[in-house]
Structure 1
């Protein structure tokens, strides 16, 4: 399975448009080559370089199996028009919260999970709750990361 972004190259810099220093909108993402039997997708975006431990920026799940792209600027609604649900990030908000590191270069991982079921979960789950719920149902994983540092 392959995940990529039109907004940044894998391991490249994330433009400020997608951060707290810009418009703070989610970057566009797309994926392909997922396994047969995929019933839904989940996505987690996080910063493992945060001073207090990994910081979660986005939790998205119940993405239908026929959805292979998220356009930039996904709304912060609990339920998206395509039926996907959004969870709680570490800013204590539903939806995407862009990079806003205190100092230095941080890495921001966008991790995609292909699942063998559509869990039908409620909105507002944390990363931990989501990972607990999908345990045993992940049939493929893929990730990209971008970097960002504040000027």
Structure 2
């Protein structure tokens, strides 16, 4: 059973009351003073209710799996009812000069509080694929947000609410990473994001039908 770990962010609305007061004084013959810089705000879109099934990179980089349909149920082999194997993946149209690839799996059921479940880095861009359960030469896995190494066999019973949206993201790096095998998940994830010139995603769901 995985423990609960959350990344929190808070949005604070500040403009609503100012607008009400301004409308109440609009016809009293007095000229309103110009708003100060700190009295204005930018409207932010609400986060999506779930991650998209698939995202292509900026220049058409693709990231797919032969083992599951984007947005579909996880293969049994990738769940706690299976053989503890990460799915296979294929990629194409990488940015020119890509030096290394990394893959993350994060729980995106709450997009504002993603959880890192798996990270593999050191992948050869020229390989074009990662076979199911494989750890190619030169590649390595790090710890996840639960302090566990390698693939963790996601299991519906480990989570809440009866369905989990699990997002794989492929990172194309413009130079080799400096991630150490077995590094903490947050450190490794930040390193991939910092050196990434493009990324693409594919979503896998864990439901009661996933085995």
Structure 1, unaligned runs of 5 or more: 75-79
Relative contact order higher in (CA < 8 Å, ≥ 6 apart) = 1
Structure 1 distance, partners of 2:176, 2:192, is 9
Residue 129 of structure 1: which of 182, 187, 201 is its match?
187
**Equivalent residue, structure 2, for 1:77:** none
**Equivalent residue, structure 2, for 1:15:** 75
Q: Give the helix-richer structure, 1 or 2.
A: 2
Superposed, which structure 2 residues align to 1:1-150 within 5 Å?
Answer: 1-49=61-109, 53-74=113-134, 80-101=135-156, 102-103=159-160, 104-150=162-208
Task: Summarize deviations over 1:55-91 as a string: whole Å, max 9, x none.
Answer: 32211112123232111113xxxxx442012101234
Q: Per the alignment, in what secondary structure is the counterpart of residue 144 of structure 1?
A: strand
Q: TM-score, normalising length from structure 1?
A: 0.84
Q: TM-score, normalising length from structure 2?
A: 0.62
Larger radius of gyration: 2
> CA separation of 1:66/1:23 partners in 2, compared to 1, >3 Å: closer, same or farther?
same
Structure 2 distance, partners of 1:55, 1:134, is 15
Instruction: Judge conservation of contact 2:171–2:193 (CA < 8 Å) in 1.
Output: no
Cα RMSD over matched residues? 1.9
Task: Summarize deviations over 1:88-134 as a string: whole Å, max 9, x none.
Answer: 12343221112213341111100000000012431012332023324
Structure 1 segments, 4+ long, off by >3 Å, are none
Q: Give the strand-richer structure, 1 or 2.
A: 1
Shift of 1:46: 1.2
